[in-house]
A and B are shown apart, each in its own frame.
Chain A
Amino acid sequence: MAKGPADPAIKAQILEYLAKVQKAKSRDVAVAIGAKKTDVDNAVKELTAEDLVEYLYITTTYICLKGKVQTPNDEK
């Protein structure tokens, strides 16, 4: 993972992309916004600390906007 503060522009692009999908792998986000994956990972780290994005585990780990994906029992 890249060190140091994340690029605000990449953070904004990630939020914009995640608004269009339910969940995504950070690698797919990197491809979609044309950024390096390590920079996306670093930006996601900050976005989770800011409570704007959260990690989601469904057999593998995804990211999504905070509150966008429900927990298994909420889906009923």
Chain B
Amino acid sequence: MTDKKTPLLDELEKGKWPSFVTEMKRAAVKSEAAGELLQVLERSYRERRGHWKHGGIVGVRGYGGGVIGRYVDEPETYPNVAEFHTVRINQPSGFFYNTKTLRTICDIWAKYGSGLTNMHGSTGDVILLGCKTEDIQTIFDEYSEAGFDLGGSGSCLRTTNCCVGPGRCEYACYDTLEACYNITNEFMDELHRPMWPYKSKIKFSGCANDCTGAIARADISVIGTWRDSLIIDQAAVKEYAANQFDIQGQVCDKCPTSCLKFNSEAQELTVNADDCTRCMHCINVMPKAIQAGKEKGASILVGGKSTIVQSAFMSSVIVPFMKMDAENDYEEFKDLVRRIWEWWDENGKSRERLGELIYRVGMGRFLREADIPPVPQMVFRPRANPYVFWPQDELDRSGTALDGSKL
């Protein structure tokens, strides 16, 4: 391990939380690259500027993503991190591993890389930090032999991600694990061969609790929901009431559409299913009494992203309900995704995410050209919102303008 001082990094080891600095120091006992990485980071904190360059070509044959080139800007000073590339490995659906698998991942990485990992990156991949260009193909070959594949990077489909789904969660409205696995395999070319204006992400959440954070981060979000009514167990409702749970205050008053009514005398809870937005709040606070309906599937949303060309965007609903059945091989979803990508690829500017393109040209044009029918669920208050997709030629034919005047 390096004996050079790192006073600023040492500050990050104080307090009750685990520290990445501590882990890097542990890695530095075995890895000179990890030791030099500490020095580069300490210097960056001291000088308040980064010392890394990224990009260029560091890949494996036939792949355009999965390895991100990193170079220190003073290779003579830091020869062990002159090349310090990041490798992304496609994680298993829902992050389910056994210990043998984890050992396999780490053993290969300890052989060729710095030993530093990030489990998991924000897109979900296993992130392996720090290897040399000359080892990349060997690393890929060994992981490939062990049953792993690279994840996405660059202007491609990024590694798809899902919540734990029915593997551990009773709220899951569809099998997120199977959907993620199936759809990842379907779009292997899109994942490994960057061809688009910029990145595209798909995230699968089993319910509206959205444990993958899809609505704020994914270009295409698949969020579990149900089409029929909530199922309410009145005996369990009475039990909550008997235990002094404030059903009116904690459930009904916090329902965003006020669709739940609690009769305190009869101790019964009823729902107006037409007004319910399937937000999951009532289920979260009264899980023993309230369940999702029986007719389950997913809502499809598009346009979520963090800040790049435009500010951060939340997603918009484009399909309120879609069955997500493995028996149909998710054909309806795959067909929709292909249409969306084709439209974005044709119209998007460089580094423009799907949501930014929709923002620039308008949701109406997107829906028309991607052949997606507009529905009231796309807007927050359809009865109050002048939400009309009448093209000008239709208005001209009608002879009446939107304000009622004659054209």
Inter-chain contact total with CB atoms closer than 8 Å: 85
Of A25, A61, A69, A71, the most chain B CB neighbours within 10 A belong to A61
B71 at the interface (CB under 8 A from A): yes
When chains A and B are docked, how far (Å) is the Cα of A69 from the Cα of B69? Answer: 14
Beyond A37-B345, A54-B59, A71-B56, 4 extra complex contacts between A and B, CB < 8 Å: A48-B64, A54-B64, A55-B59, A71-B58
When chains A and B are docked, how far (Å) is the Cα of A64 from the Cα of B194? Answer: 13
Asked if B189 and A1 sit within 8 Å, CB to CB, the answer is: yes
Residues of B within 8 A of A71 (CB): 56-58, 69, 71, 133
Residues of B within 8 A of A5 (CB): none
A37-72: CB near B (< 8 Å → 1, else 0) gives 100010011001101001111111100100001111
B-binding residues in A (CB < 8 A):
1, 25-27, 37, 41, 44-45, 48-49, 51, 54-61, 64, 69-73
**16 sample A-B contacts, Cβ–Cβ < 8 Å, listed by A number:** A1-B195, A25-B350, A37-B195, A45-B189, A55-B57, A55-B193, A56-B55, A56-B56, A57-B154, A59-B55, A60-B350, A61-B65, A61-B194, A72-B54, A72-B71, A73-B53
B134 → chain A closest CB, angstroms: 12
Asked if B193 and A73 sit within 8 Å, CB to CB, the answer is: no
When chains A and B are docked, how far (Å) is the Cα of A57 from the Cα of B62? Answer: 15
B50 at the interface (CB under 8 A from A): no
CB nearest neighbor in B for A66: B57
When chains A and B are docked, how far (Å) is the Cα of A69 from the Cα of B153? Answer: 19
When chains A and B are docked, how far (Å) is the Cα of A69 from the Cα of B56? Answer: 8
B307 → chain A closest CB, angstroms: 15
Asked if A60 and B197 sit within 8 Å, CB to CB, the answer is: yes
Asked if A55 and B64 sit within 8 Å, CB to CB, the answer is: yes
Checking B68, B198, B345 against A60 with a beta-carbon cut-off of 8 angstroms, the contacting residue is B198
A23 → chain B closest CB, angstroms: 10
Asked if A57 and B193 sit within 8 Å, CB to CB, the answer is: no
Residues of A within 8 A of B65 (CB): 55, 61
Asked if A41 and B193 sit within 8 Å, CB to CB, the answer is: yes
When chains A and B are docked, how far (Å) is the Cα of A61 from the Cα of B154? Answer: 6
